[in-house]
Amino acid sequence: LYFEGEEEDSDNDEGQIGVCPICTRELPLTFHHLIPKSTHKKMVKQHGYSKEYLNSHGVDLCRPCHSHVHRLIPLMDMALTFNTLERILEHNGVK
């Protein structure tokens, strides 16, 4: 699996090296909030999520895949529809 047109982006700190669940490359991983942080206030208020859940609900991705997910999927779509790794993998922009 891979993203077309992926680019390296360095706006977040990278973590430990591991296998990215999207591209299966062994690279430093970053934590991707499956429900974006910018939507947390709305998700707590309108959808009943706890802050603890929202801050811990995520997956470790390599920086190229993490950046591509954010370019590919609008934040509210990510929060409401593409909020699991399985749903992200089903997106047409992921190969």
pLDDT digits (tens, 9 = 90+) for 65-80: 999 999 999 999 999 9
Instruction: Tell whether pTM > 0.85.
Output: no
Question: Could you read off the pLDDT tens digit of each residue along the chain, which spans 95 residues?
Answer: 444 444 444 344 567 999 999 999 999 999 999 999 999 999 999 999 899 888 888 999 999 999 999 999 999 999 999 999 999 999 999 87
Q: What is the reported pLDDT for 2?
A: 40
Long-range contacts of 52-59 (CB under 8 A, 24+ apart): 57/33, 57/83, 58/31, 58/32, 58/33, 58/34, 59/21, 59/31, 59/32, 59/34, 59/85
Look at residue 53 in the predicted model and tell me its pLDDT: 87
Residue 7: predicted pLDDT:
41
